[in-house]
Amino acid sequence: MARPAIQQPIRPAGNAHAASLDMATFRELARLVDESCGIVLTDAKRVMLETRLRRRLAANGMDDFRAYLALLRAPEAKAGELQAFTDCVVTNETSFFREPPHFEYLTPDMLKRLAEGGRDRSLRIWSAASSSGQEAYSLAMIADDASGGGQSFPWSVTATDISVRMLNAVREGVYGADATRSVPARLRAKYLTPVGHGADQQMSVTPDLRRNVRLGQINLMHGEYRPGQVMDMIFCRNVLIYFQPDVQLAVIGKLLRHLRPGGLLFLGHAESIRSTRLPLRLIRSNIYERVE
């Protein structure tokens, strides 16, 4: 899987002098968001979009949202700015060991059984909208811990997201000390190393753990996914909620092509599957097993 290009950090300063975002231009930008990443922005999100896009206007030396829309539509400028635009509009909220019941379900015995159920007795996990990596590294920690550092079964985690900015954060693997408080103390001591001191202290994921976490850019909205492996577990949490119901079903259908029978699909707490036509059995709240 190709690694995404490193992107320049977005300048934090907005353009205070930019005109406001009128409703007609907002709706055209919202349509672009829907087309590029499947996220539906209702009219109530106009101010949120205006605030977030001011940085992009400033970065492009513009003070007019109409001109920015024209830039996104211009074929020559489109690809680069469209990625920056996408990075700006997606919601990246995440945390380590988010939704603890999912991690409580994944006991060392369960992980071992999942590894043994696959073709080559290794455990393959995909975090399919990984944001900045807390989900992927939480999974890596429990897999590495349960396998005795890969001695009893090899494991790998694949972290993908639409946002290059988020994938760069996963690659860096450095988090504010506060963000790591939800990591169980034993795993924190084993897999996170303090960097710096006092209020500026950050925690860095150990190189050994990072080595088994692969990265790639996958837009769940478009085309076939190529995660590179058949998975034992897929985490696709807190992203489907932004999509229309028909898109949600299409995404789940495509994810299932990469999940082995007997493998597990995890969705977010507010996401559930209503279709009875998918080969899935609900085994716990928002945990599904692929049945065939």
Ligand X SMILES: C[S@@+](CC[C@H](N)C(=O)[O-])C[C@H]1O[C@@H](n2cnc3c(N)ncnc32)[C@H](O)[C@@H]1O
- Active-site annotation holder among 34, 52, 66, 145: 52
Please report the DSSP string for 198-219 in residue order.
GGG-EEEE-HHHHHTEEEEE--
* Contact yes or no for 52/128 (Cβ under 8 A): no
Select from 20, 51, 91, 201 the one that contacts ligand X (CB under 6 A): 91
Question: Residue 161, interface with ligand X (CB under 6 A)?
Answer: yes
Binding residues for ligand X, how many (CB under 6 A)?
Answer: 23
List beta partners, residue 174: 204
Nearer residue to ligand X within complex by CB, 57 or 128: 128
- Angle among Cα 139, 142, 148 to the nearest 5 degrees reads 135
Secondary structure (3-state) at 156: strand
Question: Residue 232, interface with ligand X (CB under 6 A)?
Answer: no
Question: Residue 144, interface with ligand X (CB under 6 A)?
Answer: no
- Burial per residue of 205-215, b for 16 or more beta-carbon CB atoms within 10 angstroms, e otherwise: bbeebbebbbb
**161 included as an active-site residue:** yes
Residue span binding ligand X (CB under 6 A) among the ranges 21-29, 156-164, 169-177, 202-210: 156-164
**52 included as an active-site residue:** yes
Question: Residue 169, interface with ligand X (CB under 6 A)?
Answer: no
Please report the DSSP string for 33-64 in residue order.
HHHHH-----GGGHHHHHHHHHHHHHHTT---
Residue span binding ligand X (CB under 6 A) among the ranges 32-40, 77-85, 146-154, 270-278: 32-40
Select from 17, 42, 44, 93 the one that contacts ligand X (CB under 6 A): 93
Name the one residue in this structure whose structure tokens are 């001109």: 67
Nearer residue to ligand X within complex by CB, 122 or 219: 219
CA distance 157 to 137: 8
Residues designated catalytic:
52, 161
Q: Give me the residues that bind ligand X (CB under 6 A), please.
A: 37-39, 90-94, 98, 129, 131, 135, 161-163, 166, 219-221, 237-239, 268
